[in-house]
A and B are shown apart, each in its own frame.
Chain A
Amino acid sequence: MTNSIEEIEDAECIFLIGTNTSEAHPLIARRVMRAKEKGAKLIVADPRMIQLARFADVHVRQRLGSDVALLNGMMHIILKNGWQAAEYIANRTEGFEEFEETVMGYTPAKVEAITQVSIRDLEQMAEYYAAGSPSALLYAMGITQHTTGVDNVKSCCNLAMLCGNVGVRSGGVNPLRGQNNVQGACDMGCLPNVYPAYQPVTNEAAREKFSKAWGRELPGNAGLTITKMIPAMLEGTLKGLYVVGENPVLSDPDAHHVRSAFAKLEFLAVQDLYMTETACLADVVLPGVTCVEKSGTFTNTERRCQLLTQAIKPLGNARQDWEIISDLSTAMGYEMKYQNSEEIFEEMKQLTPSYAGMSYERLGLDGLFWPCPNSEHPGTPYLHKDTFTRGLGKFHPIGYKDPAEMPDAEYPYFLTTGRMFAHFHTGTMTRKSAHLHHEQKTGYVQMHTGDAKKLGVKTGEMVRLSTRRGEVEIAVVISDMAQEGTFYVPFHFAEASANVLTNSASDPVAGIPEFKVCAVRLDKIVHGENRK
């Protein structure tokens, strides 16, 4: 997030796109609701009638995967009416002319045809967003998990810059991230192309700095993203895999394909809390520790690094993640010796400029927002105040592209996947809680009453969903939350796995798969029939 969570409360307008905030980020929804109750305008763009849509001043249900067109349409209207922040654009950005040319091609009529959002609603969204001073834009996986994920994000940034909302308190472009420490993991270089603090492995100066600190020559080429690893495993160029705290057999798209790739590995080690679907395939399972058994830091979605203090000793034969990694590294010939996680933090901050001013003592209970470059620096709740990281903010001209798979005669419905409030990710933790299990015991396909009537299915009925990748048997839930023509399946449940169905087509730049759109068919299950 460019801005902190607390600031959302003071926005004049909040634009939620591709985020079911109250179910997936409930404490951020609290801030949204508070802003709304103080008088902020609330815009929700989501194909489903999510909880916060009930409170929206305008809610639009754009056709799946049409976000670029929707955002271009808003920007078209803003420019037509002269609502853009002209001074901000002139002083702080570049690339405006080329961008403007593209956006002017997205007339309201054209956008309505692509997105199925009425011109009136589109105008209302544009007006509210442009009028807010500041307006905060919040998005989540509904924006990123597309073959056009990067285009979608860039379009969000274009909109925010167009109205001068980046670099101001309570404004910004705010991706709501899924895990408590996914921001921290990325900050620490758990990505195939960067060292900590996003210093590129291909940059010679950065490489030299880390080579020197670690006393080893380092490779100068980027590694594989997870979506590239799967084909590499199938081709046999990737033979061994060490999976830490992830359950790709359930969380990656096109699960049958993923399983066959895992079967080809010569060696698989999985480090996790529980015997996950992925751990069941492993040659070696290394038991890690839960959050109450370890010390360290988590950096959350708002870039706030917070200290975690161990409450109990590790249970059973579980060990600290850093101990396992250190021992493994030592056994493989690179000695790692640390007394505790603080010693690792101290080493890290020497090499990570955005964390350089932090220490366990300074983090205290409230933590610090990066960048925090020196020990006197108070941290940075919102980014890009006077200048962008690259200097000027760059407008990108973005054209609309269809999702990789659209409904057709054979697979006539859209399928989208996501989360529901009671469970987290692949359910490895939440499905073990009796209370959360009570809330939701298994998977389901949510559909609109109209579609259910047409197909002759009832709530609770088991049906078969099939895509070009696979099929699952799953119970129907009829709900007016669903958009007509679009089915929704939560991906938490291995026995009704959404990712058997999803498409592994991915964004060409970021490699993120298109979990949010594919084409699907529904068949009634007839007793005594032979499964095809």
Chain B
Amino acid sequence: MKDTVKKWLEEKQVDMFLGYKMVHGHALPYCFQADRLDEVDDLVVSRERYSLEKMATHIAAVYPEMKIGMLARDCNQRALKVLDIWDQLKKDSVTTFNVNCCPSPLKNHGDCSYLEPSPVGPVKVELGIDNNMSVEHAEHLDQKERFAHWMYEFSKCIKCYGCRNICPVCFCKDCSLEHPELIRSGGALPTEVPLFHLVRAAHMAGRCIDCGLCEDACPMDIPLRLLYRKVGSSVSDLFGYRPGIDEGKSPFNLIGDAPTTEPRPI
């Protein structure tokens, strides 16, 4: 891997390479460049992950000609596909070095930290939602109970926007979460329950690639991945479309009038 990355940089196949550098025992996202080639020796693949493609999107927005190299697991690959479909980061501008997801006892080519889920406390199981629950399991809960449990989870929200900010496929210039007519701003915490999270969930339809970074980032351990998985399964059932896996445009990627919250004549 290190030799390949060095070669790419030396031969100007890429202008930069986004990966992880080991710094004082932590693998941190890092931009490797040709003028500091020896740093590539510190390039690592570890359990740590970050949406490198989001950084790439930001870089490409400022430097459209930049050839970006990137370390990519499966989730990064899915995100890159979505970003290409939505014209945020064209696939020609990114060269990936593909690596396996974290090896684990369950699967040798798998699903990072989620293959060894951390235990969830008894009170969370009783009042909230076990983050490791499957969509099928969640759907079998009694509806009233299910509602109460989700409301418990949402009412923990501290409105840090971490779920949005880390999301590799959140790229809208005007975010609905900051639309004053959709979500009340200001005042106290929690944010508007459950609207904030439902608005975000709706916008994940046809886009979420199930990387789970949102849930990793959530300081309050809200089971966002489960929520968006449900949204994803609805899209898959209704339209037969799986973002990041299936080719072609998302069913929501239709050209039409500019969206508005104004009521329209029917």
Closest to A28 in B: B219
Which chain B residues lie closer than 8 Å to A481 at the CB level?
A: 188
Answer whether A365 and B187 are a contact pair too, CB < 8 Å, given A26-B158, A37-B120. Answer: no
Report A-chain residues with C-beta under 8 Å of the C-beta of B99.
none
Q: Which residues of A have CB within 8 Å of B128? A: 37
Query: Do A366 and B219 contact each other (CB < 8 Å), given the known contacts A39-B121, A435-B178?
Result: no
Considering the chains assembled together, what is the distance between the CA atoms of A366 and B158 in angstroms?
25
Q: Are B188 and A421 in contact (CB under 8 A)?
A: yes
- Interfacial chain A residues near B121, Cβ < 8 Å: 34, 37-39
Chain B residues lying within 8 Å of A30, measured Cβ to Cβ, are 219-221
A38 adjacent to B122 (CB under 8 Å):
yes
- Greatest chain A CB density within 10 A among B160, B178, B219 is at B219
Q: How far is the CB of A322 from chain B (nearest CB, A)?
A: 24
Residue on B nearest A364 in the bound complex, by CB: B24
B67 to chain A, nearest CB (A): 24
Q: Is the beta-carbon distance between B186 and A440 smaller than 8 angstroms?
A: yes
How many A-B residue pairs lie within 8 Å, measured between CB atoms?
75
Task: Specify which of A23, A365, A439 is in contact with B24 (CB 8 Å cutoff).
Answer: A365
Contact of A387 with B by CB under 8 A = no
Answer whether residue B107 sits at the interface, using C-beta atoms and an 8 A cutoff: no
Which residue in chain A gives the minimum CB-CB distance to B23? A365
- CB contacts under 8 Å to B, within A1-50, are 22-23, 26-27, 29-30, 33-34, 36-39, 50
On whether A26 and B24 interact (CB within 8 A), knowing A39-B123, A421-B158, A477-B187, the answer reads no
**Closest residue of B by beta carbon distance from A420:** B188
Q: Is B233 interfacial (CB-CB < 8 Å)?
A: no
Complex Cα gap A38–B188 (Å): 26
Whether a CB of chain A sits under 8 angstroms from the CB of B25 is: yes
Q: Which residues of A, 431-448, contact B by the 8 Å Cβ criterion?
A: 435, 438-441, 446
- Cβ proximity bits B128-151 to A, threshold 8 Å, 1 near / 0 not: 100000000000000000000000
- A33-B220, A51-B190, A421-B189 known; A38-B123 Cβ under 8 A: yes
Taking residues whose C-beta sits less than 8 angstroms from the other chain, chain B's interface range is: 20 to 34
Answer whether residue A54 sits at the interface, using C-beta atoms and an 8 A cutoff: yes
Near A by CB (< 8 A), chain B positions 57-81 give none
**B109 within 8 Å of A (CB atoms):** no
A131 within 8 A of B: no
Counting CB contacts under 8 A, is B36 at the interface?
A: no
The complex places the Cα of A27 from the Cα of B120 at a distance, in Å, of 19
B174-202 interface with A by 8 A CB criterion: 178, 180, 185-190
A413-438, CB < 8 A from B: 420-422, 435, 438
Q: How far is the CA of A144 from the CA of B187 in the complex (A)?
A: 24
Question: With contacts A26-B158, A26-B219, A30-B220 known, is A39 near B185, CB below 8 A?
Answer: no
Contact of B123 among A29, A36, A51, A439 (CB under 8 A): A36
Please tell me if the beta carbons of B122 and A421 are within 8 angstroms of each other in the complex: no
CB A472 to nearest CB in B, in angstroms, measures 18
A209–B195 Cα gap in the complex (Å)?
61
B123, B155, B160, B185 — which one has the most chain A CB atoms within 10 A of its CB? Answer: B123
Q: Of all chain A residues, which has the CB nearest B119?
A: A38
Cβ 8 A contact of B160, one of A26, A54, A479: A26
A364 touches B25 (CB 8 A): yes
Partner of B25, one of A37, A51, A365, A441: A365
Which chain B positions have C-beta within 8 A of A55? Answer: 156
In the bound complex, residues from chain B placing their C-beta under 8 Å from that of A365 are: 23-26
Taking A30-B220, A39-B122, A435-B178 as contacts, is the C-beta distance between A51 and B26 under 8 angstroms?
no
Check: B249 CB closer than 8 A to any chain A CB. Answer: no
Q: Determine the distance from Cα of A439 to Cα of B158 in the docked complex, in whole angstroms.
A: 12
Q: Which residues of A contact B124 (CB under 8 A)?
A: 37-38
Within 8 Å of chain A (Cβ to Cβ): is B159? yes
Q: How many angstroms from the CA of A365 to the CA of B155 in the assembled complex?
A: 33
* Bound CA span A441–B23, Å: 40
Residues of B contacting A438 in the complex (Cβ-Cβ under 8 angstroms): 178, 180, 185
- Cβ proximity bits B204-243 to A, threshold 8 Å, 1 near / 0 not: 0000000000000001110000000000000000000000
Known: A365-B26, A438-B178. A33 touches B221 (CB 8 A): yes
List the A residue with the shortest CB-CB distance to B218: A30
Bound-state Cα–Cα, A446 to B189, Å:
13
Contact B158 A22 (CB under 8 A): yes
* Residues in chain A near residue B160, CB distance under 8 A: 26
- Bound complex: CA A61 to CA B26 (Å): 44
**Bound: A364/B25 CA distance, A:** 9
Inter-chain CA distance A41–B122, complex, in Å, is: 13
Q: How far is the CB of B151 from chain A (nearest CB, A)?
A: 11
Residue of B156, B188, B190, B219 near A27 (CB, 8 A) is B219
B-side contacts of A37, CB under 8 Å: 120-121, 123-124, 128, 221
- Cβ–Cβ < 8 Å partners of A29 in chain B: 158, 219-220
If A23-B188, A39-B121, A435-B178 touch, whether A34 touches B158 (CB-CB below 8 Å) is no
Q: Measured between C-beta atoms, what is the minimum distance from B169 to chain A in Å?
A: 20
Question: Taking the nearest CB of chain B, how far is it from the CB of A9, in angstroms?
Answer: 10
> Which chain A residue shows the least CB distance to B185?
A439
Offer 19 A-B interface pairs, CB within 8 angstroms, sorted by A.
A27-B219, A30-B219, A34-B221, A37-B123, A37-B124, A38-B122, A38-B123, A39-B122, A51-B155, A51-B188, A366-B24, A366-B25, A420-B187, A421-B159, A422-B186, A438-B185, A440-B186, A446-B188, A477-B187
Besides A30-B220, A34-B121, A39-B121, 11 new A-B residue pairs in contact (Cβ under 8 A), listed by A number = A22-B189, A23-B189, A26-B219, A37-B120, A54-B155, A364-B25, A365-B25, A421-B188, A438-B178, A439-B185, A441-B186
Closest 3 CB pairs of A and B: A364-B24, A38-B121, A37-B124
